[in-house]
Amino acid sequence: MATVFIPTSLRSLSGGVRSIQANASNVREVIDHLEEHFPGMRDRLCENGELRKGIAVAVDSRVCSHGLLEKISPDSEVHFVPGVSGG
């Protein structure tokens, strides 16, 4: 199963859980899995049925451009990388 890492800014929804295993074939299914375990996560990651434009997703350490359709392998690592602007 893929390992999904939860960004710091969303860990209030996961009760502090940093990562979770997910049986998923693409990013959309990863988010479905997150929502199932941590309600509210989908709204933070998606808008109008798409990945929010202020959030990047990295699969196996590569920032992807296919959004929710990006493919996931059973041994993939998935990171959601929200844009930050703190200066």
The residues binding other proteins (CB under 8 A) are 7-9, 18, 44, 47, 52-56, 58, 61-63, 65, 79, 81-87
- Measured from the CB atom, is 74 or 83 closer to other proteins? 83
Strand order in the sheet with 55-59: 19-22, 2-5, 77-82, 55-59, 62-63
Least distance in angstroms from the C-beta of 28 to other proteins? 19
CA gap 78, 87 in Å, rounded: 27
Q: Which two tokens stand for residue 40?
A: 């509210």
- Measured from the CB atom, is 62 or 75 closer to other proteins? 62
